[in-house]
Every structure is written in structure tokens, then in C-alpha cells.
């Protein structure tokens, strides 16, 4: 870069060199994000031909169909479920990552590699593994029964707790990997000072570390929220039909009913609502973010 | 079988179709490439690969490329999207009756030349589907039954009636298909409790049937889209009862799995697949040869023996023994799905169905 700056006598070159990165970014954003989103937006206004496919049109019928108690309830449930999963995941991941950053180098490397390995598992594998672990015939309840804790083995899925467990498991590695850089940069002197003044490690954690990391925590929750909102296999494998999220219903419309306009309209609405949630969260965090970044 | 499309296979197929769309120029096929035939992935496709395609190639000299399809309606959506892009992920596909009619509404299927399909003259009329102008677009490929299945270790005595599914003693034990147009549970409920599917002629009647069906929800442990998921749970006894495919259950039992398929006294659900040729195909001649070949009575008998499906031609035209026929069918009058409704009011039925099971 300094070479370019020194040769300011060649303005064209600076011009192109400086513009190249943003141009590349815009191109990628356009090709992989804006154009597909635009197509989806267009399709969401198309006319569904029942029993066949769709034809180009401009109508609000697909959005109108969504404004029905049934789908609004599903939307509310999906958002509530994803928020719960995100908050639980971060509640577990934050202390875990904090202790990890204070562990030895080799432990850190091992844990991070392990988490990356977990990340490589697909939703399908996670869903099937948990359904086996929570099953009556082969699951952990057999262990409880053998230990005499239960009279006989029981099935723990499909159920809401099973689904939450699966979603937390799915988002946990992401939350740790997002929290890790921020927490490892956290100045150790902060907690040392607190402890010198007599605070216990636990108290230090809650009164010093957590407040300082507030923004990181909020952004990690948002990330996990958006991530779990897209899960559509876990609700089917670990949840009962009332727990099927909007993503499941979108998949149903798109893949099984051939109703792409309605699926697109639902996806656009889900996108808008989650953007709104993110905006509200960010606005709420703005006022008292003075403690700020790590 | 055909229904035994695991999620992985499904994703594989979806991805393949997606890549196919991207690889548009590659689709300009040279002549002499194999005829692409789609059947449901898993066991079903394996049986075709092993017993049917090699013999067909030997008899006609036409090579076949076997394509794995996901469950009926999902494959239909992919074919519709591909046809719009001028492509043909498979030339001939086996489609469920509902999917075949939906595709016909969209004029997705290429009209077939009846003069090249002389073997289809032995098929019952409903297996030769025609457009309004009289041209043929779908030929019955094979039939299958959906029956009441149980784990023999959990239930030493087989249930005898669909009514058992409503019995409170089976709480949390059933695995049922999750979609209105592949479970045909409305037809089952109507036949079992309302003396037949005529009650479904009116919307009020359908809602009455749905209300009756809602009464068994407490007994349902799993509403499955993925058949592999249920089959495994049935074999282990995790979900010891439910509705499933007669042929696959028979094969699993023959493999030593503790499962059985029972034709309830109200009848099994008789569904069938038809061969359809996508309009963007460039292999019409070969496709017609294939469909004609598959419609022969001895090939229908071979399907019954090797794949476990019921023949589309009348039984007396085949050389199946009583025992062989009983293995793939039943003398009890079958429950015939109301395909007409899935075409005329599919969206309404789907919506009501979603509300029924999700609430």
C-alpha cells in the first residue's frame, strides 16, 4: 500500500487499486446475495396456479395468505424458539469460552479443533444422532434405568426440550468461535484489578467480564438467533408438528406443494421480521454501550 | 423403497438438479447417450438397476441411466423448474398419480404416440391417462399398497383394523405419513368411519373426516416425511406401529426384521406410479420403447416377484401364482385415493391438513 501512496503522481493507478476491493465486494454481494434475493422478492408477488406452477404477476395474495392466525402463531413460535436457543447457547458458551481463553495453549487448540469438527456435522446427522440418544430403545434413558433412576426406559423425543437441545447443540460451536477472539483479547489486568480489590473470581466474572463484553454477547446472540432460525430439519426430527418452525413450512411449500410464490413471500416476511428484531436489539444496546468493545 | 429416500439421497438429488440447471450447455446431448429413467431412490431403484434395466438394454439395445428421484411431489417441482429452463433431469420419470395430474395441468408431459405403445392396450383405462385432446401423457407403471404395519416383538398379535389406530391403548406409538396427499389418511378415515370416501365430496364432509382423524393425534409419535426415519424406528420397536409400504415391509421381514404388514379389514391403500415423459426430453422414441416394454405382462409379473409391487395389468393376464400374488396384493377391496380432490382443491386441503396436525 505504501508503494501506491508514494506514487501519487499516477492517479489512475491509485484510483483503480483503491476501488478494486469495494468493486469486488459489491460484485460478490450482487451475484450471491442481491440477485437471488431480488428473484425471490419478484416470485413472492407472482401468481400461484393451483395444481400446476406459477406465472408472472404482481399481486399481494401470497402475503395476504400469511396474515392468518395459523402462520402468525408459527412465526411467533419460531422467533421465540430461536431466541431461546440463542440465549441458552450463549449462556453456556460464554463462561466456557472465558475459561478456555485462560487455559493452556494446547487445551485451547484441542478445544477449538474439536468445535470445528462439530461444525462440520450437518443438521441431518445432528438430528438423527440426538433422536437416537433420546430414544426409548437405544437412548440414554436405558442408562438411567440400569442405574435404577428410572423404572424403565422412556422416549424423550419428539418434544420441545429435545428440539431446544438440538438447536443449542447446533449453534454452540458458532457462538464459541465468535466469542473466542473477543474474550482472548480481553485485558487480563481488568479482572486482576478486580480480584486485587477483593472480588471473588465468580463475582469478577459477573461484575467485570460480562458487562465489558456486553456488546459481544449481544452480537453473538443475534448471530445464533439468525442461524437457528434457518434450521428446518431439527424441528422435524426432534419436534412434534406444533414445533415445526416457519422454515419447515417454507420448505413444505417450496419442495412439496410447488407453491414457490407463497414460500418466497413467507421467506421475505421471515427475513423482514428477523431484521427488525436485530435492529431493535442493536438500538437497545446502543444507549448503554459505553462500556463498549473489548 | 421408492419412498425410502433418505434425506441424504434427497439432498443429493436436489443438488444434482441444481447443478444441472447451472450446467446448461452440457445439456445439449449428443445422440447415443443413455435414456434417463427416474425412479424413487433407495431399495426401489436398486431393484430396477439389478433386475429391469439390464434386461431392457439386452432386449432393445437402449442404454439406461438410472436417476434417483425424491418423493413424488418434490420431484415434480424439480422437473417443472428444469422444464422451464429447457432441461430434462430425467427423460422418463415414475410419478405418483397426484404428481402426474399436477404435471398434466402444467402441460409438463410430452404427449405419447399410442401406436408405439401396443402393450398398454391390456392396461385398465385409468392407467392410460389422457389430455383433454385425447393424447396420452401417462402410463401406469406399477402399483403399491400402504398398509398397517407393526413390530412383531412389541405386538405379537397383528391388529386387524385401521380402527386400532384410534384405540387409546396405542398412545404415542404410531408413525404416520406427514402429508395429506401421500398419507391418504383422509380416505382411510372416511372408509373406516364413514362408510367410504363419498363423504369427501363436500368441504363439510372433508372437515368432518378431519375432525375424526384429529382424534388419533395423541396416538401419533411421529409424522414422517422421510420414510427411512420411520422404517428404522419400526424395526427397532421405537415406534412400533403405523402406516407404511407393504412391499418394503415384506422385504424387511424377509431380511429377518421383526416387522409385519397387515391388510386391515377395511382394505389397504392402493396407490400407483405412472411413467411420464418430460416435454423437454429429446428421447421420445426410446422413452416410448421403454414404456411399452415395461407394460408387458411378463415384465409386470417380474416386477411383482423382484420389486414386490402389484401389477398394473389384470392379474389373470400374468403367470403369478396365488402365493406370489398374495405377497404383493390382497383380495380385500382396496381404498382408492381421491386424486381428483388433490388436484381440484389441493391448496385448501394442504392448509387444513397443516392446521390439523400442527395444532
Burial B19-54 (b: 16+ CB within 10 A, else e): ebbeeeeebeeeeeebbbbbbbbbbbbebbeeebbe
SS3 of B333, please?
coil
Q: CA–CA separation, B5 vs B3, rounded Å?
A: 5
Q: Residue B16: is its pLDDT beyond 50?
A: no
Q: What would the mean pLDDT of B247-274 be, rounded to a whole number?
A: 92
Cell representation of residue B272: 400407483
Per-residue pLDDT reduced to its tens digit, A230-289: 999 999 999 999 999 999 999 989 888 889 999 999 999 999 988 998 898 888 777 654
The count of structural domains within chain A is 1
Mean pLDDT of the region B242-265: 92
Asked if A252 reaches chain B (Cβ–Cβ under 8 Å), the answer is yes
Q: What angle do CA A73, A74, A77 make, to 5 degrees?
A: 85
The C-alpha angle with vertex B206 and arms to B202 and B209, in degrees rounded to 5, equals 140
Specify the pLDDT at position B17. 46
Pairing of strands B174-177, B241-245: parallel
Residues of chain B contacting A255 with CB distance shorter than 8 Å: 73-74, 77
Which of B8, B223, B354 is facing A124, going by the closest CB pair? Answer: B8
∠ CA B259-B262-B266, nearest 5°, is: 155
Q: What distance in Å separates residue A187's CA from the closest CA in chain B?
A: 46
A123 has a chain B CB within 8 A of its CB: no
**pLDDT interval class at B23 (50, 70, 90):** very low
Q: Tell whether the model's pLDDT for residue B3 goes beyond 50.
A: no
3-state secondary structure B213-264: HHCCHHHEEEEECCHHHHHHHHHHCCCCEEEEEHHHHHHHHHCCCCEEEECC
The bridge status of strand B220-224 relative to strand B174-177 is parallel
Q: Are A257 and A177 in contact (CB under 8 A)?
A: no
Euclidean distance between CA atoms B255 and B158, whole angstroms: 19
Selection from B137, B128, B81 nearest residue B110 by Cα: B137
Task: Report the pLDDT value the prediction gives residue B9, as an integer from 0 to 100.
Answer: 47
> Is A78 among the domain residues?
yes
CB contact under 8 A, A244 and B358: yes
Collect all residues with Cβ–Cβ distance below 8 Å to B79 and sequence separation of at least 6.
B89, B90, B93, B103, B108, B278
For B310, which DSSP code? B
Find all residues with CB under 8 Å of A65, minimum gap 6, and list them: A71, A262, A265
Q: Which residue in chain B is spatially nearest to A124 when comparing CA positions? A: B7
Look up residue A3 and give its three cell numbers: 508503494
User: What confidence tier does A169 reach under pLDDT thresholds 50, 70, 90?
Assistant: very high
- The separation between the first and the last C-alpha atoms of chain B, rounded to the nearest angstrom, is 31
Cα torsion B68, B74, B79, B81: sign: negative
Interface membership of B46 toward A (CB under 8 Å): no
Q: Can you give the pLDDT at residue A202?
A: 86
Q: Looking at the complex, report in whole angstroms how far the Cα of residue B7 sits from the nearest Cα belonging to chain A.
A: 7
Q: How many helices (H) and strands (E) does chain B have?
A: 15, 10
Q: Is residue A209 part of a domain?
A: yes
Using the Cβ of A255 and the Cβ atoms of chain B, whether some distance falls under 8 Å is answered with yes
Sequence-ordered strand ranges (E) for chain B: 35-40, 64-69, 92-96, 128-130, 136-151, 174-177, 220-224, 241-245, 259-262, 269-277
* pLDDT bucket at B222, cuts 50 / 70 / 90: very high
The parent domain of residue A98 ranges over: 69-293
Which letter does DSSP use for residue B110 in this model?
P
What's the pLDDT band for A16 if we cut at 50, 70, 90?
low
Q: Which one of A48, A50, A158 has the shortest CB-CB distance to B222?
A: A158
B83: number of Cβ within 10 Å? 22
Q: Which of B102, B179, B229 sits opposite A52 (nearest CB)?
A: B102
- Rounded distance between C-alpha atoms, residue B176 and residue B241, angstroms: 9
Question: What confidence category does residue A15 fall into, taking pLDDT thresholds of 50, 70 and 90?
Answer: low
Residue B76 to residue A258, Cβ atoms within 8 A? yes
- The grid coordinates listed for A245 are 418452525
What is the torsional sign of CA A253, B71, B208, B214? negative
Contacts of B120 (CB under 8 A, 6+ apart): B114, B127, B128, B136, B139, B291, B292, B295
Any chain B CB within 8 A of the CB of A138?
yes
A246 at B interface, C-beta within 8 A: no
What would the grid cell of residue A172 be?
454452540
CB-CB under 8 Å, B106 with A257: no
Q: What is the DSSP string of A220-288?
A: HHHHHHHHHHT--SHHHHHS-GGG--HHHHHHIIIIIS--HHHHHHHHHHHHHHHHHHHHHHHHHHHHT
pLDDT at A14 (0 to 100): 58
* Average pLDDT value over all residues in chain B: 88
pLDDT band, residue B65 (cuts 50/70/90)? very high
Contact B73 A257 (CB under 8 A): yes
Q: Do B354 and A158 touch (CB under 8 A)?
A: no
Instruction: State pLDDT tens for residues B273-306.
Output: 999 999 999 999 999 999 999 999 999 999 998 8
**Is the CB of residue B264 less than 8 Å from the CB of residue B150?**
no
Within-domain flag for A96: yes
Contact, B337 vs B269, CB < 8 A?
Answer: yes
Which is it for the CA torsion B162, B168, B170, B172, positive or negative?
Answer: positive
Name which of A36, A137, A158, A235 to mutate to probe chain B: the one with the most chain B Cβ atoms within 10 A of its Cβ.
A137
Q: Which of B105, B223, B355 sits opposite A51 (nearest CB)?
A: B105
B358 touches chain A (CB under 8 A): yes
CA-based radius of gyration for chain A: 24
Residues of A with Cβ-Cβ distance to B351 under 8 angstroms? 70
Only one residue has cell 446502543, namely A286
Q: Rounded to whole angstroms, what are the CA distances from B285 to B36, B91, B114, B199?
A: 13, 11, 12, 44
B346 closest CB neighbour out of A51, A135, A244 = A51
CATH code, domain with A223:
1.10.3720.10
Query: Alpha helices of A102-140 — where are they, by DSSP H?
Result: 105-119, 123-133
Under an 8 A CB cutoff, do A155 and B238 touch?
yes
Of B71, B238, B343, the CB nearest to A137: B238
* Predicted ipTM beyond 0.85: no
The answer to whether A69 contacts chain B (CB < 8 Å) is: no
Verify whether the Cβ–Cβ distance B358 to A241 is below 8 Å: yes
CB contact under 8 A, A242 and B354: no
Is the minimum CB–CB distance between A137 and chain B shorter than 8 Å? yes
Strand partners, B270: B145
Separation between Cα atoms, residue A8 and residue A15, nearest integer Å: 10
Count of residues in chain B: 359
Q: Please judge whether A242 and B359 are an interchain contact, meaning their C-beta atoms are less than 8 angstroms apart.
A: yes
Residue at grid coordinates 405382462: B297
Give the number of A-B residue pairs with CB atoms closer than 8 Å. Answer: 76
pLDDT digits (tens, 9 = 90+) for B174-208: 999 999 988 999 999 999 999 999 999 999 999 99
Q: What is the pLDDT of residues B80-139, one digit of tens each?
A: 989 989 999 999 999 999 889 889 988 999 999 999 999 999 888 889 999 999 999 999
**CB neighbours of residue A55 within 10 Å:** 10
- Residues 221-240 of chain B with CB under 8 A from chain A are 221-223, 225-226, 229, 233, 236-238
In angstroms, what separates the C-alpha of B324 from chain A's closest C-alpha? Answer: 35
Quote the pLDDT of residue A288. 55
Q: Please judge whether A49 and B105 are an interchain contact, meaning their C-beta atoms are less than 8 angstroms apart.
A: yes
Rounded to whole angstroms, the Cα distance separating A82 from A80 reads: 6
Give B-chain residues touching A136 at CB under 8 angstroms: 238
As a whole number of angstroms, the distance between CA B24 and CA A249 comes to 30
- CA gap B53, A198 in Å, rounded: 80
Give the Cα separation of B285 and B192 in Å (integer): 45
Which among A32, A46, A47, A53 is the top mutation candidate for probing chain B, defined by the most B β-carbons within 10 Å of its own β-carbon? A53
Dihedrals φ, ψ of A42, to 5°?
-65, -45
Asked, for residue A44, whether it belongs to a domain, the answer is: no
**B355 with A49: Cβ contact below 8 A:** no
Question: What would the grid cell of residue B1 be?
Answer: 423403497
**Residue in this structure with the C-alpha cell 478486580, named with its chain if needed:** A194
CA distance B275 to B140: 6
Answer whether residue B73 shows pLDDT above 90.
no
* B130 inside 8 A of chain A by CB: no
A155 touches chain B (CB under 8 A): yes
Share of residues in chain B with pLDDT > 90 (%): 65
Q: Is the dihedral of CA A103, A106, A108, A114 positive or negative?
A: negative
Amino acid at each position: 500500500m505504501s508503494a501506491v501512496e508514494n506514487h501519487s503522481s499516477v492517479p489512475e493507478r491509485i484510483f483503480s487499486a483503491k476501488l478494486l476491493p469495494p468493486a469486488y465486494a459489491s460484485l460478490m454481494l450482487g451475484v450471491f446475495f442481491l440477485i437471488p434475493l431480488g428473484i425471490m422478492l419478484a416470485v413472492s408477488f407472482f401468481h400461484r396456479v393451483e395444481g400446476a406452477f406459477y406465472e408472472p404477476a404482481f399481486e399481494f395474495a401470497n402475503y395476504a395468505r400469511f396474515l392468518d392466525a395459523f402462520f402468525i402463531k408459527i412465526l411467533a413460535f419460531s422467533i421465540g424458539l430461536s431466541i431461546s436457543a440463542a440465549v441458552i447457547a450463549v449462556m453456556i458458551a460464554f463462561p466456557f469460552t472465558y475459561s478456555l481463553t485462560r487455559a493452556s495453549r494446547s487445551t485451547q487448540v484441542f478445544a477449538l479443533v474439536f468445535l470445528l469438527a462439530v461444525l462440520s456435522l450437518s443438521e441431518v446427522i445432528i438430528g438423527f444422532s440426538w433422536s437416537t440418544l433420546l430414544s426409548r430403545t437405544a437412548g440414554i434413558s436405558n442408562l438411567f434405568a440400569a442405574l435404577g433412576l428410572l423404572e424403565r426406559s422412556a422416549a424423550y423425543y419428539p418434544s420441545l426440550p429435545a428440539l431446544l437441545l438440538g438447536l443449542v447443540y447446533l449453534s454452540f460451536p458458532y457462538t464459541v468461535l465468535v466469542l473466542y477472539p473477543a474474550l482472548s483479547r480481553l485485558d487480563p489486568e481488568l479482572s486482576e484489578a478486580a480480584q486485587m480489590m477483593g472480588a471473588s473470581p465468580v463475582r469478577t466474572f459477573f461484575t467485570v467480564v460480562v458487562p465489558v463484553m456486553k456488546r459481544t454477547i449481544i452480537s453473538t446472540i443475534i448471530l445464533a438467533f439468525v442461524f437457528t432460525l434457518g434450521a428446518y430439519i431439527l424441528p422435524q426430527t426432534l419436534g412434534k408438528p406444533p414445533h415445526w418452525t416457519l422454515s419447515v413450512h417454507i420448505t413444505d411449500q417450496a419442495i412439496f406443494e410447488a407453491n414457490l410464490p407463497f414460500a418466497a413471500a413467507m421467506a421475505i416476511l421471515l427475513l423482514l421480521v428477523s431484521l427488525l428484531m436485530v435492529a431493535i436489539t442493536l438500538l437497545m444496546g446502543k444507549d448503554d454501550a459505553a462500556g463498549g468493545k473489548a | 423403497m421408492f419412498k425410502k429416500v433418505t434425506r441424504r439421497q434427497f439432498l443429493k438429488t436436489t443438488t444434482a438438479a441444481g447443478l444441472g440447471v447451472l450446467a446448461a450447455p452440457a445439456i445439449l446431448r449428443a445422440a447415443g447417450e443413455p435414456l434417463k429413467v427416474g425412479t424413487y431412490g433407495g431399495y426401489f431403484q436398486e431393484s430396477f438397476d439389478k433386475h429391469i434395466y439390464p434386461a431392457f438394454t439386452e432386449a432393445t439395445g437402449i442404454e439406461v441411466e438410472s436417476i434417483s428421484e425424491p418423493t413424488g411431489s418434490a420431484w415434480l417441482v424439480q422437473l417443472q423448474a428444469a422444464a422451464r429452463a429447457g432441461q430434462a433431469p430425467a427423460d422418463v420419470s415414475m410419478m405418483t398419480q397426484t404428481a402426474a395430474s399436477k404435471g398434466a395441468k402444467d402441460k409438463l408431459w410430452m404427449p405419447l404416440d399410442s401406436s408405439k405403445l401396443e402393450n398398454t392396450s391390456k392396461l385398465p383405462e385409468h392407467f392410460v391417462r389422457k389430455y383433454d385432446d385425447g393424447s396420452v401423457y401417462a402410463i401406469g407403471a406399477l402399483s403399491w399398497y400402504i398398509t398397517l404395519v407393526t413390530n412383531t416383538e412389541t405386538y405379537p398379535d397383528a391388529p386387524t383394523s385401521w380402527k386400532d389406530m384410534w384405540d387409546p391403548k396405542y398412545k404415542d406409538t404410531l408413525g404416520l405419513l406427514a402429508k395429506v396427499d401421500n398419507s391418504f389418511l383422509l380416505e382411510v378415515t372416511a372408509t373406516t368411519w364413514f362408510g367410504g370416501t363419498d363423504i369427501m365430496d363436500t368441504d363439510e364432509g372433508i372437515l368432518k373426516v378431519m375432525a375424526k382423524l384429529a382424534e388419533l393425534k395423541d396416538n401419533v409419535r411421529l409424522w414422517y416425511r422421510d420414510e427411512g426415519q420411520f422404517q428404522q424406528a419400526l424395526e427397532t420397536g421405537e415406534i412400533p406401529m403405523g402406516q407404511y409400504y407393504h412391499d418394503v415391509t415384506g422385504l424387511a421381514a424377509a431380511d429377518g426384521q421383526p416387522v409385519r404388514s397387515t391388510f386391515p379389514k377395511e382394505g389397504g391403500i392402493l396407490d400407483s406410479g405412472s411413467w411420464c415423459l418430460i416435454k423437454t426430453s429429446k428421447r421420445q422414441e426410446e422413452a416410448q420403447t421403454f414404456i411399452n416394454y415395461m407394460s408387458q405382462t411378463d415384465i409386470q409379473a417380474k416386477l411383482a416377484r423382484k420389486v414386490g409391487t402389484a401389477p398394473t395389468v389384470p392379474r389373470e393376464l400374468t403367470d403369478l401364482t396365488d402365493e406370489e400374488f398374495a405377497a404383493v396384493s390382497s383380495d380385500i377391496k382396496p381404498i382408492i385415493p381421491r386424486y381428483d380432490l388433490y388436484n381440484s382443491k389441493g391448496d385448501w386441503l394442504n392448509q387444513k391438513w397443516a392446521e390439523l396436525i400442527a395444532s
